[in-house]
Structure 1
Amino acid sequence: MAQNDHDAILGRFEGKRHIYPLIVYYENTDAGGVVYHANYLAFAERARSAMLNLLGFTNRNIAERHKVAIAVRQCTLDFRRPALLEDRITVESRVIKVGGASLGFEQKIMRGDDELVVIEIYLACMSLEEFRAQRLPDELRTVFNSCLDVTKD
């Protein structure tokens, strides 16, 4: 697989927003063909990991180089409409806060122009040795500050 092909499966940036495409598969749904509520969190996690990868990092290399992990601290989901079996959806992610040891994201799961789920999620940087909050490594802070988007839709 060529590098450009690999990058394509990680989504793309449109301005400061990361756009990650998905297809709803049978495994994502309940018996009625509706996406099971917990799967929206999995979709959002996958999109944030892809965004991180496009920015030049992986969760593994952050852990190995800096001995830290980025973990979910707080999350709210606003369910507006269901995604259905075989829908083509996107996860639109934007960085809304960069703190000393934290990151905030707004993620919208969309079907075309329809907002299906809006997620506000806050992550904490923590030491892998003590499992306590630790300042974001400078290189991560720099890259996430470059993505910071505090505009309101």
Structure 2
Amino acid sequence: MPAQLPTFVHRCCVYYEDTDAGGIVYYVNYLKFMERARTEHLRSLGYVQSTLAGEDLLFVVHSAQARYLAPARLDDVLEVTVEVVELKRASLRYRQQVRRLADGVLLCEGQVTVASVRADSLKPRAIPGALHSALAAEPGLSPAGE
């Protein structure tokens, strides 16, 4: 059994453009922060999405759910975690959390299911073997998720 990797963490800062008139992060922007974290997670495994697209592979969001617990504000530094909790032949499900770095408060949590599709037809495509293996080594993945 391969050694488990730590949960992937991506840091980002809240910019003015991320906030509403009240200076609070607009709810949909948490999904953007999560998307960026998933992209950086793939990059940390050695996979760049633009390269994958050139190899006729795209990851598209199938479904997303989020629960908002506390607000983030302008200039907060956030930590966005990425855990693969279910991995199938042509899809995977992530669990993600967004916390404020300064105090560790959980601001938002959710799950996102992503499908692997062909770039040319958007039809399902198996996740390539090496990438599938790298994702299978994730710490949150249960054996039943395979």
Query: How does the TM-score come out when normalised to structure 2?
Result: 0.88
1:105 aligns with 2:94: yes
Q: Shift of residue 129 of structure 1?
A: 2.1
Please say if 1:25 is aligned against 2:15. yes
Structure 1 consecutive aligned stretches of length 4 or more whose deviation exceeds 2 Å: none
- Give the whole-Å Cα distance in 1 for the aligned partners of 2:20 and 2:134: 38
Say what the alpha-carbon RMSD is for the aligned residues: 1.5
Task: Report Cα offsets for 1:35-55 as digits up to 9, x if no partner.
Answer: 011111110111111111111
Displacement of 1:148 in angstroms is: 4.5
Query: Deviation at 1:106?
Result: 0.5
Structure 1 residues 6-17: aligned runs within 5 Å: 15-17=5-7
Matches of 2:36 and 2:80, distance apart in 1: 9
Question: Is residue 54 of structure 1 aligned with residue 44 of structure 2?
Answer: yes
Q: Is 132-141 or 14-23 further displaced after alignment?
A: 14-23
Q: How far 1:128 moved relative to its partner?
A: 1.5
Deviations 1:98-143 (A, max 9, x none): 1010011011000132110001000000111221111111111011
C-alpha contact 1:16 1:149 (8 A) present in aligned 2:
no
Q: Percent identity?
A: 28
- Match 1:80 to one of 69, 79, 91: 69
Query: Please, which runs of 5 or more residues in structure 1 have no aligned partner?
Result: 1-13
Given candidates 54, 58, 63, the residue that maps to 1:64 is: 54
Kindly provide the amino acid, as one letter, of the partner of residue 116 in structure 2: C
Q: Which has the higher contact order (CA 8 A, sep 6+)?
A: 2
2:32 match: secondary structure? helix
